[in-house]
């Protein structure tokens, strides 16, 4: 029996309808569904706590947009449970299927040996003095930015214990290849092929025009010290936020595990870029 974890975008009626349709589609098959409580209560079936679903699942199906996938990836963590996303949102760079492709793809989803694609994740530790305040992972990016009314701030950057530079900017984005088409792209960063094993530093509105994005091997360790500024925040995947103070230190490196995505057909990444970014139109 295949155990299927089900997540859906909160407050989205279309996501609830999609879960109900999947439930009906799987009726009579040798599967056990672990549906998160919020959705399960609407369709009148047994629900499970979000944090309990990954450890009880062989695969996970997430209905929503890229934001839904990002939250699920952090929740799965190092369990290695493969994820497939059904796009109900806007751009949908990470989601594998469109809403109307689920029924035609269902047999491939439950095949014995589906294809997988692995993506690196980042680990961010925040230190204040000798105390570790934060230890969290991100699939897309780790961002240091300021509030709307704050002035730019200064960050000392060290890579592999070697001083690199001091950024004076409105912020700094540390992105995985998966996240290169997210916040980093809007700040002028390059697009990176999603399975590359590297990460990207993109300054936001730097004070000097010579400050440019930097691509680094994922074996490197990045240390950031907050040199000056106020109302500074660290955000992970745009979903988890933590306030920072002057002299706080942030260490960012590749996580010890990767996120695993189910790939159902030959993906043409460049076709995806043309479609999502409207190239040639």
Residues with catalytic roles: 66
| Phi, psi angle pair for 56, to nearest 5° | -105, 10
The three-class DSSP label of residue 168 is strand
What is the C-alpha to C-alpha distance for residues 209 and 81, in angstroms, rounded to an integer? Answer: 43
Residue 99 DSSP class = G
Angle at 87 between CA 186 and CA 242, to 5 degrees: 50
Longest dimension (CA), the chain: 63
- Which of 64, 77, 81, 62 lies closest to 2 in space, CA to CA? 81
User: Within 86-160, where are the H helices?
Assistant: 102-109
Cβ count near 43 (within 10 Å): 13
Residue 117 zone, left/alpha/beta (φ > 0; ψ -120 to 50; rest): beta
Which H or E element spans position 68? helix 66-76
What is the C-alpha to C-alpha distance for residues 23 and 243, in angstroms, rounded to an integer? Answer: 41
- By residue count, the chain amounts to 281
Pairing of strands 198-204, 171-175: antiparallel
What is the C-alpha to C-alpha distance for residues 186 and 170, in angstroms, rounded to an integer? Answer: 14
| Phi, psi angle pair for 179, to nearest 5° | -85, 0
Output Rg (C-alpha) for the chain, integer angstroms: 20
């Amino acid at each position: 029996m295949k155990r299927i974890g089900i997540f859906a975008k909160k407050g989205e009626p279309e996501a609830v309808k999609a879960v109900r349709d999947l439930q009906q589609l799987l009726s009579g098959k040798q599967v056990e569904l672990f549906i998160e409580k919020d959705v399960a209560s609407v369709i009148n079936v047994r629900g499970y706590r979000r944090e309990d679903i990954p450890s009880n699942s062989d695969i996970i199906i997430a209905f929503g947009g890229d934001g839904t996938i990002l939250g699920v990836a952090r929740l799965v963590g190092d369990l290695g449970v493969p994820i497939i996303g059904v796009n109900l949102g806007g751009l949908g760079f990470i989601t594998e299927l469109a809403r109307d492709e689920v029924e035609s793809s269902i047999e491939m989803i439950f095949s014995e040996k589906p294809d997988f694609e692995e993506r690196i994740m980042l680990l961010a530790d925040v230190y204040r003095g000798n105390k570790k305040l934060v230890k969290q992972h991100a699939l897309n990016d780790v961002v240091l930015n300021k509030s709307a009314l704050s002035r730019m701030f200064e960050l000392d950057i060290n890579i592999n214990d070697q001083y690199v530079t001091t950024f004076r900017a409105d912020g700094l984005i540390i992105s995985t290849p998966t996240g290169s088409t997210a916040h980093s792209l809007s700040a002028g960063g390059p697009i990176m092929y999603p399975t590359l094993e590297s990460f990207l530093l993109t300054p936001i509105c730097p004070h000097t025009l010579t400050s440019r994005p930097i691509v680094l091997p994922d074996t490197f360790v990045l240390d950031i010290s907050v040199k000056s500024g106020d109302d500074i925040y660290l955000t992970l995947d745009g979903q988890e936020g933590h306030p920072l103070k002057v002299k706080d230190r942030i260490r960012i490196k590749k996580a010890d595990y990767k996120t695993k995505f189910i790939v159902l057909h030959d993906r043409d990444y460049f076709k995806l870029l043309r479609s999502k970014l409207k190239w040639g139109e």
